[in-house]
Structure formats: structure tokens, C-alpha cells
A = this chain, B = another copy of it.
């Protein structure tokens, strides 16, 4: 039985995970919350609070075992599943995601691409062939796709979500600016790049 963790903490765990990977590559065996905080610009108190959520394994005055903590976070986030992604909609954003270098270190791999535009079906992005959306179910099953990534225009997004669910994906990552309806058994995360930019706008206007 896993404990439910707050969204804010979940959002910080990938940052901890990536930093621990780098630190492990530097052959550090122990890291303090101060050092982790310095590298991430997060207060040590926040880090200790986040990590205490899933058990006490740091040692007071010494720090955290880098490898142990990395594996622990990997397991909490489920990254050891090495999820396989299919991207539907290979426009600018879909193409950028197909080439995004930060996925591999987290265990994510893009294994299939789909587009409804016949003029790009058959071509490749980052070595992955673009398939027609009509082939979605067959290829999702064949390539054992876990996660469907939706980067089509808003008006097409629900139909694509329905197809992905029917094909058996276990989760959906949606970039279309629309509320999708999917079964409760299929987790859905909505991404919106203007959220981060709006947060920046907030911080800029608070100061001026």
C-alpha cells in the first residue's frame, strides 16, 4: 500500500532524482540536505520534509546515502518501469518531445509516433517512423506502449485520447489545452507550458 504524496512533493522528486544521478556519477556516496539544496536552490528544510514523507533514511549530521536515496525515489516515482511512450501529433511540439534529451535519463523512451497528416506519415523523427493514426491500436499493442502523449490541436484531442485508451495505454500526458475525459483507471496529466511562463510573469510583476 503506497502512501499518497502531495503534488508539490511529487514535482520536486524528479529534480532530486536527476541531481542524485549526477552526484553518483561524481562518485559521492553521501550527500547532505544542505548540499542537495545548494545544487537545486531548494531549502534544506524543504528537502528534509519531502524525504521524511516516505520514511527516515537520512542520518542526522551525516546525510543521505546517494545510491539508496536515488533508488528509493526511482521506485516512488515508478521510473524503474522504463515506460514506453507514443506521441500522437508530430507538429513542432510533438517533434520537440520526440527529440527531448531529458527523457532517457529518467527511463522514458519514445517508441512510436503518429500523425494524421499523410504528407509526413512514413518519414522519421529522431530515427522513429511516423505512422498513420489509423494504425494506432495495432502499433501501440505491438510496441507495448505504456503512455500516450497528445500533441494534436484541441479539437482532435478527445478522439485521440479515446483511441489511446481503446488501444490499452496505461496513462496519458496531454498537451492540448482542453479537459479530456478518460476512465478513472487511466491516469491523466495535463501539461501547459504557459503555466511556467505565467509564474515567471507573477514573480516579475511582484518585484516591479
Q: Residues of A at under 8 Å CB distance from B?
A: 2, 4-5, 7-8, 10-11, 13-15, 17-18, 39-41, 76-79, 81, 83, 91-93, 95-100, 102-103, 106, 108, 146-147, 170-173, 177, 179, 185, 187-189, 191-208
Q: Are B185 and A173 in contact (CB under 8 A)?
A: no
Query: How many identical subunits does the complex contain?
Result: 2
The smallest C-beta distance from A6 to any residue of chain B, in angstroms, reads 9
- Residues from chain B with Cβ under 8 Å of A100 in the complex: 92-93, 193-194
- Residues from chain B with Cβ under 8 Å of A15 in the complex: 192, 195
4 A-B pairs closest in CB distance: A78-B205, A187-B203, A92-B96, A14-B198
Q: Are A201 and B2 in contact (CB under 8 A)?
A: no
Q: Which residue of B lies closest to A39 (CB)?
A: B179
Known: A201-B78, A201-B81. A193 touches B10 (CB 8 A): no
Further 7 A-B residue pairs, CB within 8 A, beyond A13-B198, A15-B195, A173-B200: A4-B206, A14-B192, A14-B194, A78-B208, A92-B92, A95-B95, A100-B194
- Residues from chain B with Cβ under 8 Å of A18 in the complex: 177, 194
Known: A106-B197, A198-B77, A201-B79. A207 touches B189 (CB 8 A): no
The smallest C-beta distance from A172 to any residue of chain B, in angstroms, reads 8
Q: Which residue of B lies closest to A171 (CB)?
A: B204
Q: Are B108 and A194 in contact (CB under 8 A)?
A: yes
Q: How far is the CA of A187 from the CA of B205 in the complex (A)?
A: 10
Q: How far is the CA of A187 from the CA of B41 in the complex (A)?
A: 13
Q: Are B106 and A193 in contact (CB under 8 A)?
A: no
The smallest C-beta distance from A93 to any residue of chain B, in angstroms, reads 4
Q: Choose among B97, B195, B203 the residue that contacts A171 (Cβ–Cβ < 8 A).
A: B203
Q: Which residue of B lies closest to A85 (CB)?
A: B197
Q: Which residue of B lies closest to A100 (CB)?
A: B193
The smallest C-beta distance from A180 to any residue of chain B, in angstroms, reads 9
